[in-house]
Amino acid sequence: MRHLDETVARAALARWGGDPSTLRHVATSGNAVYRFREGATPRILRLTDPEHRTAEQNHAEMEFLLHLRACGVRANAPVPSASGKRVERLEGCSACVLSWAPGVRVEPASEHWNEGFFKEWGRSLGRIHSAARSYRGPSRWEWTDEGLLAHARRLIPADDAIARVELEDVLARLLALPRRADNYGMNHADFAPQNFNYDPAAGITGFDFGNCCAHWFVSDLVISLSTLRRQSERERYRAWLLAGYREAMAIDDEIWVERSWFLRLRVLYVYLSRLAKFGSNPTAEQRATLDMLRGLVAERLTWE
């Protein structure tokens, strides 16, 4: 991603007519993300290496966002370029611009870390899933085709027999589950506080749908709940989040009873993400992280 520097960002920004003097780098992970202003309006510019996501996959994401908003879901909106495109192709990358999500990021020390926030978190995720049931736009990948899982057998070290067995066990179990329009569809795939902003008066606005894909809705719910694993009040927080979710979307009991398997999939996914990120020669600190995650994989976590 190093080639997606500010020079490339400025070239992309010209397609939208934003003010280049306001361009600021925010982060680089799967995408290179910048913020800028169009007049007085804040925007997000996102640059994507085609090896990470193709322009067609990004277009499908933009279509899903438009569908969510048409269904009344609060999510950041694609902003068309001057030529009317939601995704622009540049040499070496594709680019899109998204509206700024109002509100603030809520963390455990925040005054908003309370019942109202957790119920809104659940409601917002439930609204995404409810709207996803009627989405008929361009498809993204099936969850098993996502890069980390598609290449999992190559990423897991040959001597890590426990992770290899766990991968096969989890895949076999989940692939046997029924898929229906009411329990399977487009997921956000990481709906946690780092990927939405909260306004107590207006609610939550979701963003960073870059991993959205076809999956069981319970998987998305488990991913959100898994972020609370280290919180001392996690049982109460989870109860609030689930109560909010059920206000917007019913939970399929047949799939919900399998939630420990989805938790195990999430642990595997995080382990795979670090294996891919750290490469074949990790530092001592990175090796410690891998050892910790490998231990969680071996633990075969169950729902508490």
Tokens 């990004």 map to which residue?
Answer: 58
Distance CA 187, CA 249 (A): 13
Q: Regarding predicted confidence, which is higher, 51 or 204? A: 204
Model pTM?
A: 0.95
* Structural contact between residues 193 and 105, judged by C-beta atoms closer than 8 angstroms: yes
Tens digits of residue pLDDT in 20-41: 999 999 988 889 999 999 989 9
When pLDDT is averaged across residues 255-276 and rounded to a whole number, the result is: 97
Tens digits of residue pLDDT in 39-50: 899 999 999 999
Tens digits of residue pLDDT in 60-105: 999 999 999 999 999 999 999 999 999 999 988 999 999 999 999 9
Q: Exposed, middle or buried by CB within 10 Å (0-12, 13-18, 19+), for 187? A: buried
